[in-house]
Structure 1
Amino acid sequence: MSQNGKVVKAGLGYTIGNYLIQGLNFLTIPIFARLLTTADYGIYNTFAAYESVLFIIIGIAIHTSYKNARFKYKYESEAENSEYNFESYVSSTMIMIVVNALLAFVILNAFYPFFHNILSLDRIELILLVMYSFGAAVVQCFNSNAALNYKYQSFLKVSFINAVGNIGLSLIFIFFMFKNNRYMGRMLGTTLTIFVISVMIVISFLRQKRPNHVKEYLQWGVNYSLPLVPHGLSQVILSQFDRIMINKMINSASAGIYSFAYNIFTILLVTYQSLDNVWAQWFYERMNEKNYTAIKKISGLYVLTLFIFTACVLLVCPELILILGSAKYYNSIYCAIPIIVGGFCSFLYLIPSGVEYYYEKTKYIAIGSVSAAVLNIILNYIFIKKFGYIAAAYTTLVTYFLYFMFHFAFARKIQGFHLFNNKVIFSTIIALLALDFLTIFLVKLIIVRWIMAIVLFGVYLLYEEKRFGIAGRFVKSKLHR
């Protein structure tokens, strides 16, 4: 199979498979939305937000080093009898994650009163937090490793088992063991599944290649990834901290409504992350070839395609909320609309950040992300207090746009010239901002919004057909049989 064919197949595999897996989660959103009170929903999502922080600390963002380590150390079969190879690098990173998780377990328990007062989690919940974070760090490394060779089947297998186990155990715990504290059933179901999977992954990596030269590997790996820890924490602040602030400044019910709006954005996030698994590896390969023309051309098509998809979801998101939730989540419509636009800007960040990762300029990534996160906290503190939880959606939009702009500027500085199709990128941002306000204005006019979505998608299909002629070739092949 050609390289382009391999990339396209992997992209489709990641996206379609992810939707099939996430489809299970989407189908259970109405179930958990009804089983959990808005307060329970807010408590669980706050727990998940804490996990997003501890996961980064335990993993030290070491998975981000895999793409560069792949070219630095090479696979054992390519390493020409070198004592250093990529497989032993990966197993060495597993040792580091295990040690970090044990340290986190000891520290959180040794200083339990302090962390209990800050996080409002009891001892059992803190232990679950460490287990969940450890599991997430290991699974993230597994996924990054699989993406290097477009091995989407391995990624999908682990993701499917995690999704089914997560949902199944959560429902069992909620119905039979934690009827009065249903958020605990959800926590246990989520945590135990990913923890068991992660232990099996660690054993598999260690059996594949025993770790050696651990000190040398981790010295390079940590030097690469450590600046990305503040970057990762900043991403958590941008995506999760608003829920924590709403929970503290207003109440857990408001945090639950706001969190539900984020579930609609998950539809888009699945697509963004699936395609980025393929885009990132393809980008590295083209950068190695110095094929900048291909990067500029494909980046424009990539952004345009995801703009159309995002715009269509934006136009129909009020109905998605009513279908997946219930009347008690109706106000989340006014959060979901700006969150979707901000989320598109977070996707755009992935494009210029590839330059920073490629040249190992991770300090620039940290600077841009921390700046955006600090701004997000300040804006949230000011506007949540003044306008309520819906204001957090708009502060998220503003900070995600600035987040993208920071990294766009840094990529230009590092590369020395504009590598991407800027005309398409900024046109889609302006168009989506306009569509944000239009959707709010037309929120009661369901038919008008759906017609707009269908027309927009139809025009895009005609444009793609004009460029590639896929449907035309298919019809001709059928007629000539």
Structure 2
Amino acid sequence: MIRVFSKNKSISRVVILNVFGSFVLQGISLFTAPIFTRLLSPSDYGIVAVYTAWQGLFMLFIGLQTYGSIANARITYEKVIIDAYLSAIMTLGFLSFACILGGCVIWQGPLSSVFGIQRNLVILLPIHSFCVFVVNFYTTKWMQFKDVEKNAIFGVSIAIVSVCLSLVFIYFLPEAKYRGKIYGAAIPQILSACVFLVFLYKKGRCFYNKEYWRYCLKLTIPLIFHGAGGLILSQSDRIMLKKFVGEESVGIYSVGYSLALIISSIWGALNTSWVPFYYEYKKDSNRELILEKAGRYMTLFSVLTMGFLLLAPEVYKIMAPSAYWNGIRLIPLIALAYYFNFLYAFPANHEFFYQKTIYISLGTLVAAGINIGLNFLFIPVYGDIGAAVATVVAFVFLFLFHDVIARYVVRNLEYHFKFYLCGLVSVVCVAILYYFTLSFWYIRWAIAVCLGVFLLLRIIKQKALF
């Protein structure tokens, strides 16, 4: 039976709370980045980045991406059984975790050599990954049911605790500071996951249901391959930089990505706000409302991306000492990659609504293959710039592939978006301007102020973010 959820929470309220939470989280990240880049050497930072890359790989299979089915289950199942559904599919995640943890215990030594990390971190990897999965599962539930207040409070709280613990561990582990950073991130996730699991099973009281497992796996098995491709797109460049260039290059590259994560996090907050309402509009066949709000969404994110690019060099210099400043030239390329990721989400959300996840995984895997191939060609010659260019090209392909699929394969008559070009051209022009005005901060900041005023007036006029 179809579950009809309350729409009493406006999209603007949800977006504001999500974006506010994202800004606070990024504020914490920016405020603490100068501390960590001074406490950790580029080599230490590189080791943390490599650990994070392998953690992303583990998370593809630990959990089986089951939280990817929550959005569709929300509009499929009655409220009285949705909690049972959630607890049942969590069991799938726990079973996959048990298998992977067992493998890590048995082959701890060989995996330590393959991963390039200490033996004790090989055991921590699956545990940490599973707990991050559980946390993501629960926060996805909050977002899909529009409990944005809980999501914002939890996100900020765990970020603050992680920073404090990392600083404490770095102080007490002066000979291996990278371990302090890793332990500080892992412990809050582990404790939170334990609490969430208790609440989930206490409320759902369902460990197994054949129908729920079948429904979930039909949606999420393709997402594992999608996640594999996404991981390659986001992390393979760091692993290959370490192989071809060295850990120091990985550290500098990762700091550049850390700054660009501001725009990625904003997109994540906007997209998680947009999807529940978009699904409701699609379900109601409300074409005009979709086009109106999607156009506003496009304008909002395009202006925010341009503003980020215009302000980024000075923020980067505050964020990291001079040893990392080579990463400044990477920012426009990384931002463009994230912008194409934003564009790709429009057709991908359309495909996901119709449960055509096979196309999502196919596109991501092909894009990942393109990224690996270009990394092999570009990194030995151009280093970190080559890695960034390869990522941009892969995301351009990803967007074009899904746009074609959405228009001509998956219910093409219902896919109406035609407004990409204006925003894309504007962002590309600002990315080019970035390089010509690196020494003229006042020009970039003046343009950024003008864009901010334009966006503010537009929001006031339309009385909504979307």
TM-score bracket for this pair, using the shorter chain length: over 0.9
Match of 1:62 in 2: 66
Match of 1:174 in 2: 170
Aligned counterpart for 2:411 among listed residues 406, 412, 415 = 415
Match of 1:294 in 2: 289
Match of 1:265 in 2: 260
Match of 1:104 in 2: 100
Look up the equivalent residue of 2:28 and give its one-letter code: L
For each residue in 1:407-455, what CA deviation from the matched residue of structure 2 results, as whole angstroms up to 9, or x when unmatched?
11111120223634323x1221122122212111111111111112112
Aligned counterpart for 1:119 among listed residues 94, 115, 121 = 115
User: 1:399-478 residue pairs with structure 2 within 5 A?
Assistant: 399-412=394-407, 413-417=409-413, 419-423=415-419, 425-468=420-463
1:465: how far off?
A: 4.4
Checking the alignment, whether the CA contact within 8 Å between 2:42 and 2:247 is kept in structure 1 is yes
With over 3 angstroms needed to count, the CA separation of the structure-2 counterparts of 1:330 and 1:284, relative to structure 1, is same
Checking the alignment, whether the CA contact within 8 Å between 1:135 and 1:198 is kept in structure 2 is yes
With over 3 angstroms needed to count, the CA separation of the structure-2 counterparts of 1:420 and 1:303, relative to structure 1, is farther
Checking the alignment, whether the CA contact within 8 Å between 2:66 and 2:90 is kept in structure 1 is no
1:110: how far off?
A: 1.2
Match of 1:44 in 2: 48
In the aligned structure 2, how far is the partner of 1:259 from the partner of 1:420?
37
Match of 1:368 in 2: 363
In the aligned structure 2, how far is the partner of 1:167 from the partner of 1:117?
29
For each residue in 1:76-132, what CA deviation from the matched residue of structure 2 results, as whole angstroms up to 9, or x when unmatched?
0xxxxxxxx211111112222222212111101212233222211222111111121
With over 3 angstroms needed to count, the CA separation of the structure-2 counterparts of 1:101 and 1:390, relative to structure 1, is same
- When normalised by structure 1's length, the TM-score is 0.92
In the aligned structure 2, how far is the partner of 1:167 from the partner of 1:469?
34
In the aligned structure 2, how far is the partner of 1:117 from the partner of 1:469?
53
With over 3 angstroms needed to count, the CA separation of the structure-2 counterparts of 1:314 and 1:418, relative to structure 1, is farther
Gaps of 5+ in 1: 77-84, 471-481
Look up the equivalent residue of 2:136 and give its one-letter code: Q
Match of 2:3 in 1: none
In the aligned structure 1, how far is the partner of 2:315 from the partner of 2:11?
31
Checking the alignment, whether the CA contact within 8 Å between 1:297 and 1:421 is kept in structure 2 is no
The answer as to 2:324 corresponding to 1:329 is: yes
Look up the equivalent residue of 2:251 and give its one-letter code: G
In the aligned structure 1, how far is the partner of 2:118 from the partner of 2:105?
10
Aligned counterpart for 1:71 among listed residues 51, 71, 75 = 75
In the aligned structure 2, how far is the partner of 1:394 from the partner of 1:379?
9
For each residue in 1:248-278, what CA deviation from the matched residue of structure 2 results, as whole angstroms up to 9, or x when unmatched?
2110100000000011111111211111111
SS at match of 2:451: helix
SS at match of 2:146: coil
In the aligned structure 2, how far is the partner of 1:187 from the partner of 1:469?
40
Checking the alignment, whether the CA contact within 8 Å between 1:22 and 1:163 is kept in structure 2 is no
1:29: how far off?
A: 0.6
SS at match of 1:21: helix
Look up the equivalent residue of 1:293 and give its one-letter code: E
Aligned counterpart for 2:28 among listed residues 18, 24, 27 = 24
User: 1:5-24 residue pairs with structure 2 within 5 A?
Assistant: 6-24=10-28
Look up the equivalent residue of 2:83 and give its one-letter code: E
Checking the alignment, whether the CA contact within 8 Å between 1:36 and 1:182 is kept in structure 2 is yes
Look up the equivalent residue of 2:214 and give its one-letter code: Q
In the aligned structure 2, how far is the partner of 1:197 from the partner of 1:239?
26
User: 1:17-416 residue pairs with structure 2 within 5 A?
Assistant: 17-76=21-80, 85-176=81-172, 178-412=173-407, 413-416=409-412
In the aligned structure 2, how far is the partner of 1:414 from the partner of 1:15?
31
For each residue in 1:178-227, what CA deviation from the matched residue of structure 2 results, as whole angstroms up to 9, or x when unmatched?
10100011111111110111111011101112015433311221121001
In the aligned structure 1, how far is the partner of 2:23 from the partner of 2:144?
21
In the aligned structure 2, how far is the partner of 1:288 from the partner of 1:32?
46
In the aligned structure 1, how far is the partner of 2:184 from the partner of 2:319?
21
Checking the alignment, whether the CA contact within 8 Å between 2:233 and 2:368 is kept in structure 1 is yes
Checking the alignment, whether the CA contact within 8 Å between 1:295 and 1:419 is kept in structure 2 is no
Checking the alignment, whether the CA contact within 8 Å between 1:146 and 1:154 is kept in structure 2 is yes
In the aligned structure 1, how far is the partner of 2:239 from the partner of 2:44?
14
Q: CA RMSD in A?
A: 1.7
| Of 19-28 and 222-231, the range deviating more from structure 2 | 19-28
In the aligned structure 2, how far is the partner of 1:170 from the partner of 1:50?
20
Calculate percent identity across the aligned residue pairs.
27
In the aligned structure 2, how far is the partner of 1:139 from the partner of 1:468?
34
Checking the alignment, whether the CA contact within 8 Å between 1:228 and 1:365 is kept in structure 2 is yes
1:279: how far off?
A: 0.4
Gaps of 5+ in 2: 1-5
In the aligned structure 2, how far is the partner of 1:418 from the partner of 1:382?
40
In the aligned structure 2, how far is the partner of 1:223 from the partner of 1:51?
25
1:280: how far off?
A: 0.5
Look up the equivalent residue of 2:62 and give its one-letter code: I
With over 3 angstroms needed to count, the CA separation of the structure-2 counterparts of 1:347 and 1:183, relative to structure 1, is same
Look up the equivalent residue of 1:162 and give its one-letter code: I
In the aligned structure 2, how far is the partner of 1:191 from the partner of 1:415?
43
1:145: how far off?
A: 0.7
With over 3 angstroms needed to count, the CA separation of the structure-2 counterparts of 1:4 and 1:266, relative to structure 1, is farther
Checking the alignment, whether the CA contact within 8 Å between 1:65 and 1:221 is kept in structure 2 is yes
For each residue in 1:136-182, what CA deviation from the matched residue of structure 2 results, as whole angstroms up to 9, or x when unmatched?
11111101111122101221232123212211111111102x10100
